[in-house]
């Protein structure tokens, strides 16, 4: 097999990249380890920045997103039962966010790729990348138990945190940065109408809780739990009781319903400071992970491939390699900004120190500052909706 861009991974990064390339007349082939059913059912976060929605509009893949997605214009930040509203659309001159589950995004992108004739090989595992320093790198892969290869002009490793792309960078050629947080998120999906018109991020002395939603009938909620906690330790009633406690505010009720999906995910910040080597380029979770408190994972993946697609277009159309040469440098500006914001939101809203301690009071002072200072509210708002400039 031969193509211009060999893409490993049919997550948001790989699929969006293939569609962007096709728009520029550049051919790509996607190799995906899992089945179509598996990737379309994988439950993840669901908040899209304005930049992401704008890009999906440009790609003409946003029809269902606009029909079923829920536009949001502000959020509640709550501390010890006191809620503060951050009107982020007002603070950012009209920029909004949209709630639309990542698996719905993936379904729409796969459908568009297939309809537009972009080949996606599911249940196909990339095993090695050869010749990255030559002009025709090759992806070795297995399909139906057979070893095959895909020769390309460039390889885009959009293969997530556990993929093979990152492992093919020369070992000593980059720095790796990592924080493993001492807590995880227990997430549920439930048949319950939204209990609030906006998302609620809440600090409570028992730990953080987040109220989000998916549709007028489905809610998505999260609880901070200890690392090592097991989902079997949490009955549905215990989950709802704890959510009610942590999200409580005077005169407000939490709507309960049947829980149909639950799981625990560790919280981590991770990145490397090199996203390319020779003709291999990394994008999305393959190069960085952010804790979900800032709702940035998918948005950052899409921002990477937007830059990468521009680089490929400039190379194939103008024989100009400069954008590709600068790919890492261009991406890292946004990655570091988003790492900082995600880490800031995580420390702002999670319980880390004994209630009432010096650290607790510092955390509360940071929270209270949002209420006193429009500048601080605006800082949170512009980062949350996604900075346009980088
Ligand atoms: N061969 C083929 N496919 C692979 C291989 C491999 N060796 N290794 C991994 N993959 C596939 C995975 O099965 C997965 O479908 O690569 C895909 C990577 O997709 P994602 O993990 O969704 O990563 P990305 O596209 O970067 O999207 C980032 O996803 O993890 C969330 O929070 C994150 O929202 C963010 C988004
Ligand atoms: C979600 O709806 O899954 C969600 C929303 C906001 C976050 C994280 C997850 O910060």
Read off the pLDDT of residues 339-385 as tens digits, 9 standing for 90 and up: 999 999 999 999 999 999 999 999 999 999 999 999 999 999 999 99
Is 327 labeled as catalytic in the residue annotation?
A: no
- Closest residue (by CA) to atom 22 of ligand 1? 11
Q: Rounded CA gap, 40 and 34, in Å? A: 10
Is 85 labeled as catalytic in the residue annotation?
A: no
For the sheet containing 280-282, what is the strand order? 120-121, 28-31, 5-8, 154-157, 280-282, 276-277
- Alpha carbon of 35 to ligand 2 centroid (Å): 25
pLDDT of residue 390: 77
pLDDT of residue 55: 97
pLDDT of residue 389: 77
Q: Is the CB of 45 under 6 A from ligand 2?
A: yes
pLDDT of residue 119: 98
- Nearest bound ligand to CA 268? 1
> Of the residues 76, 88, 100, 384, which is catalytic?
384
Is 384 labeled as catalytic in the residue annotation?
A: yes
- Closest residue (by CA) to atom 4 of ligand 2? 45
Residue numbers of the chain with a pLDDT score lower than 70: none
pLDDT of residue 159: 98
Task: Locate the ligand 2 atom nearest the alpha carbon of residue 47 and give its number.
Answer: 5
Q: Which of 203, 221, 224, 295 has the most ligand 2 atoms within 8 A of CB, as the residue to mutate?
A: 295
Q: Please state the pTM of the whole predicted model.
A: 0.97
- Nearest bound ligand to CA 215? 2
Is 201 labeled as catalytic in the residue annotation?
A: yes
Q: What is the mean pLDDT of the chain?
A: 97
Q: Which of 105, 199, 211, 298 has the most ligand 2 atoms within 8 A of CB, as the residue to mutate?
A: 199
Q: Rounded CA gap, 150 and 312, in Å? A: 18
Beta bridge partners of 149: 140
Q: Say which residues have a Cβ less than 8 Å from residue 340's Cβ, sequence separation at least 6.
A: none
Residues with CB under 6 A from ligand 1: 8-14, 31-34, 39, 44-45, 102, 125-126, 158-160, 162-164, 284-285, 297-298, 301
- Alpha carbon of 164 to ligand 2 centroid (Å): 27
Q: Which of 9, 127, 275, 299 has the most ligand 1 atoms within 8 A of CB, as the residue to mutate?
A: 9
């Amino acid at each position: 097999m031969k193509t211009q861009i060999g893409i490993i991974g049919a997550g948001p990064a790989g699929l969006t990249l293939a569609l962007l390339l096709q728009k520029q007349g550049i051919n790509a082939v996607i190799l995906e380890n899992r089945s179509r059913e598996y990737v379309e059912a994988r439950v993840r976060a669901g908040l899209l920045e304005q930049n992401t929605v704008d890009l999906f509009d440009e790609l003409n893949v946003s029809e269902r997103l606009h029909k079923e997605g829920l536009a949001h214009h502000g959020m509640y930040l709550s501390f010890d039962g006191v809620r503060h509203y951050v009107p982020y659309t007002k603070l950012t001159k009209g920029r909004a966010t949209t709630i639309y589950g990542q698996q719905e995004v993936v379904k729409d992108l796969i459908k568009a790729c297939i309809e537009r004739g972009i080949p996606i090989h599911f249940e196909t595992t990339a095993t090695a990348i050869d010749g990255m320093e030559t002009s025709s790198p090759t992806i070795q892969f297995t399909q139906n138990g057979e070893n095959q290869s895909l020769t390309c002009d460039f390889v885009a490793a959009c293969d997530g945190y556990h993929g093979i792309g990152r492992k093919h960078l020369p070992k000593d050629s980059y720095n790796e940065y990592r924080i493993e947080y001492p807590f995880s998120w227990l997430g549920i999906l439930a048949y319950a109408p939204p209990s609030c018109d906006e998302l609620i991020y809440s600090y409570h002395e028992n730990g953080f809780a987040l109220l989000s939603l998916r549709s007028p009938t489905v809610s998505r909620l999260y609880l901070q739990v200890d690392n090592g906690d097991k989902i079997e330790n949490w009955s549905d009633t215990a989950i709802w009781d704890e959510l009610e406690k942590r999200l409580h505010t005077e005169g407000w009720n939490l709507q309960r319903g049947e829980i149909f999906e639950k799981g625990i995910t560790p919280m981590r910040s991770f990145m490397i400071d090199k996203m390319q080597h020779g003709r291999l380029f990394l994008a999305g979770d393959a190069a960085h992970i952010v804790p979900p408190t800032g709702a940035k994972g998918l948005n950052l993946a899409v921002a990477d491939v937007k830059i990468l697609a521009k680089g490929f277009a400039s190379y194939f159309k103008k024989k100009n390699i400069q954008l590709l040469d600068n790919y890492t440098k261009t991406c890292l500006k946004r990655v570091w900004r988003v790492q900082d914001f995600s880490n800031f939101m995580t420390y702002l809203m999670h319980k880390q120190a004994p209630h009432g301690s010096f650290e607790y009071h510092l955390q509360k002072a940071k929270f209270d500052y949002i209420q006193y200072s429009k500048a601080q509210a605006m800082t949170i708002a512009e980062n949350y909706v996604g900075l346009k400039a980088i």
